[in-house]
Amino acid sequence: MGDLNTTLSLLDELEAASLVGMTSAVWARVQGDRVAVYDPDGTPHSFAKINASANKLVRLFRSRGIQAGDSLALVCSNRAEFIEVLAATRRSGLRFTPVNWHLTTDEIAYIIQDCEAKIVVGEARVATVGPATASCPGVRIKLSVGGAIDGFESYAEAIAPLDGSDIDDPVLGNQMMYTSGTTGRPKGVFRPNPVVTPQAMYALRGYDHQTSVQMCAGPAYHAAPLAFDINAAMGAGVPLIFIDKWDSELVLRTIAEKGSPISTWCRSCSSGSWPCRRRLRPDIPSTM
């Protein structure tokens, strides 16, 4: 009976926290030392670290005059900073726009301006993010991850001295996604009311925060991996394994090594994996 009461209490706490974007804070308290995110190179990041970085980012933004309702554009590959920035926007009332970092300089600049971003967090590996942001006069804060970008502050150095404890006044944020722009400019898709997944849904989907593992092998900026891999892992409190880009053999090897993680694939990825699966596991019948 005690375990049941504890479970119900945790679910209630998570449900309340999700309404103000603080789910990550609850998981940091419950299992702070556990790994929340594995970078593609295998570097682990704990729930406590992800949560503390999110709080530091909120304090940085507020100290620069950023308010709830303002917009942030993130131009970043699959790495822990993506999760930290997302968690920060969730609890600070910001509008989060992940940008396809494979787009051209002009296309990225268009999205930054169209979403009215006052903050841009960009990754140094994306050569277009610096020039794109330079043409956007409305951007007030520019942070670089993974190296230096001309005109940007270092993400790590900017948040290092700040307080990582939970903020006292969280406000639920939202997101604005963009289409691929195959029929002209990318088009923003915005829902005024943020989507909050009921905590019980994760249990119905088979998640157990003590045993489940999630893998994201698609681009984090894409709607499907963001919703079904990243948001699911953050809500369910399970480790998220990032793969830099689709690699059938690496994905299958990760599944074997990490205990069959949950993951969202497109049809072309899953069908393309079968030849690799046959090479890695020749004992599997050809009818499978």
* Tens digit of each residue's pLDDT (9 = 90 or more) over 170-212: 999 999 999 876 778 888 999 999 989 999 899 888 899 999 9
User: Cα–Cα distance between 121 and 163 in angstroms, integer?
Assistant: 20
In angstroms, what CA-CA distances link 211 with 25, 34, 43, 236, 261? 20, 12, 20, 11, 10
Q: Note the pLDDT of residue 263.
A: 67
Q: Would you say 25 and 166 are in contact if contact means Cβ atoms under 8 Å apart?
A: yes
- Alpha-carbon span 222 to 133, nearest angstrom: 21
Q: What are phi and psi of 175, to 5 degrees?
A: -140, 155
What's residue 75's pLDDT? Answer: 98
Query: Residues near 48 by Cβ (< 8 Å), separated by ≥ 6?
Result: 28, 32, 33
Query: Reduced to 3 states, what is the DSSP secondary structure of residue 190?
Result: strand
Output the pLDDT for position 209: 94
Low-confidence ranges of the chain (pLDDT < 50): 1-2, 4, 267-278, 280, 284-288
Domains of the chain and CATH, by start: 2-175+198-280 (3.40.50.12780)
